A and B are shown apart, each in its own frame.
Chain A
Amino acid sequence: MWANETALLGSSVLSIGGIIGIMGGLLKNFMFWLPIGIYGLIFGIILVILEYPRGRKNKGNTAERRFQSCTATLLTKLPFVDNYYFRAIAYFIVCIPSAIIVPTLLGSVFVIIGSGIYLGAACHNEKWAPVSARTEVRSQSADVTQPPSRPPPRLPQNVNNPNQI
């Protein structure tokens, strides 16, 4: 879970670093930045899309990110993405080329740290699973199959069936 947060922030910083790299790369002095900047921006955006859906927590309800269902369906179709070993190694390899210029260095270091945390999570046999629909909280009262038919106060003398509120 924390790996997801670090990788998400890291990939956003990588994208911003890519934009800075592109802007600097258009200057005469920093032309070397331009290809790396483009690389950083593209892979930063890909990683943001991959990291945005939050996986399901092992126990309890998981708070989804806003609009995460759009990309979550994409993630369920891609192979390998739910395996954290794959994520750890892939992010590491992706970030090495973008670590050679200073603007994208920051984002790549962050994503590499995120991949390290993913490696730790993979060793604990965690994997990404899509968040299922929230389970309804069962009311503690008697089993109610119908919605209440009258507004509060629901005095018992007005109610015929003590099981129907």
Chain B
Amino acid sequence: CCPRRIRRILDKNIKFHRMCAYMIVLMTLIHYFAHSFNVDFFTSAYTSKILRKRLVARLIQIGNAPNETYLNPIRSNVFSVGAVFLLTGGWTGVIITLSLFFMVTSSVEFIRRSYFEVFWFTHHLFIVFYGFLVVHGISMQVRGQTAASLLVHDPKRCSLINPALWPQNNCPTPVFAGSAPMTWKWVIAPMVLYVIERIIRLVRFNQQVEILKVIKHPSRVIEIQMRKKGFNAEVGQYVFIMCPQLSQLEWHPFTLTSAPEEDYCSVHVRIVGDWTTGLSKVLGADESGNEVLPSWKMPKLAIDGPFGTASEDVFNYPVAICVGSGIGVTPFASLLKSVWYKNLNPEHEMVLKKVYFFWICPETHAFEWFGDLLAYLERQLAEIGRQDLIEYHIYLTRGWDHKQHTYPTRGWDHNQ
């Protein structure tokens, strides 16, 4: 629906999120320090030194009599730090700033990488943040003279006159009002969008996902083939997978490795942390489980997706150069499979005539399944005489290990 340039910008959503967060932190600090002067102006107006100024003494009195509106939200002599908690803007601000503090300190890369749950659960404080942000100004404590009052009481002239003599000098009691909260106008649209997205995720959670096959690959990689009604993905997209049996709150992203032409969707999961280890255990794919689990014993999975800018542009050009390094090679599994399927279809002549595929990784450890996939595709293409459709260049940057150096003696071309 959208042109590619816009879609590519949407892929940078997390970077944008971080920029917004830095801006929020900066603006929060500026806002806080500016209002700290404000709070002290409010409270110090009641100190004897300041009360000697007749104008200030009169202004803080306005609002005590009935039918009068006040200027100073602090109505009696309190300590300035206590006033922070008396003002509605103050204590809501404290809650907001504390939740922002927890969110920011746990989002640094070090905490995210090593203590992810701390980051994940404190980041949900954003609900508290936005809730109290919207009501932060609800008491309308930033006050000024109303427009109507400005017409009858000119502050420039009347401030120079002794306030006790105001009634005689055509200075009626000024009327003050606060400015209404306006933050909700800015944040309501993103909040509604977010709520809609969570509702969609809830709906998708309730849709049934059928697990067709679980395949164990070398180096602790498992492939899960699933099917869901109405699920359509383009090449190179990713999904979020959740397993309620393991954790109700964790949705983890995985790139789809199946082509859109296949009637199932598959992901390849590398078993590294505790969620993936738990996943392999409930799927019956861990070290102890070697028998196939019947489908009624399979755990319930939920898929949210597909997301991501698809790589479907590759089919619009006659020559495509695909470069994948390390884990980034996973979307190319789906891409190359899709190229293969489209090639099989004799009706549509493909615009794409040649694919150069470059794969750079330290070693093939944990990617043996991809190497097998490449070998399989090459065999299939050779069978129909189209082996020049995809040209592979593989670079192993960690050098050869003691197993691989025997390959050339078995007739394996090192240029593969």
Q: Interface residues, chain A, CB within 8 Å of chain B? A: 1-2, 5-6, 9-10, 13, 16-17, 20, 24, 29-30, 33, 54, 57, 60, 63, 99-103, 105-106, 109-110, 113, 139-142, 148, 152-157, 159, 162-163, 165
Contacts and interface: CB of A to CB of B under 8 A. Distances in A.
A101 B81 contact: yes
A106 B101 CA distance: 10
A142 B400 CA distance: 10
Interface of B: 29, 32-33, 36-37, 39-41, 44, 50, 80-81, 84, 94, 97-98, 101-102, 104-106, 108-111, 113-115, 118, 363, 365, 398-402, 405-406, 408-409, 414
Given A5-B111, A6-B101, A102-B84, A20 B36 contact: yes
Contacts of A9: 101, 104-105
A153 B398 contact: no
B40 A30 contact: yes
Listed from nearest, the 6 A-B pairs whose CB atoms lie closest are A102-B36, A141-B401, A5-B105, A156-B405, A6-B105, A103-B36
Nearest to A152: B399
B80 to A, nearest CB: 6
B40 to A, nearest CB: 6
Contacts of B405: 154, 156, 159, 162, 165
Nearest to A12: B29
B84 A5 contact: no
B399 A155 contact: no
Nearest to B39: A102
Contacts of A163: 402
Nearest to A17: B33
Contacts of B101: 6, 9-10, 110, 113
Contacts of B409: 156-157
B105 A155 contact: no
Given A99-B81, A106-B32, A2 B39 contact: no
A150 B324 CA distance: 26
A16 B29 contact: yes
A140 B401 contact: yes
Contacts of A154: 399-400, 405
Contacts of B29: 13, 16
Contacts of B114: 1, 57, 60
B406 to A, nearest CB: 7
Contact of B110 (A33, A54, A153): A54
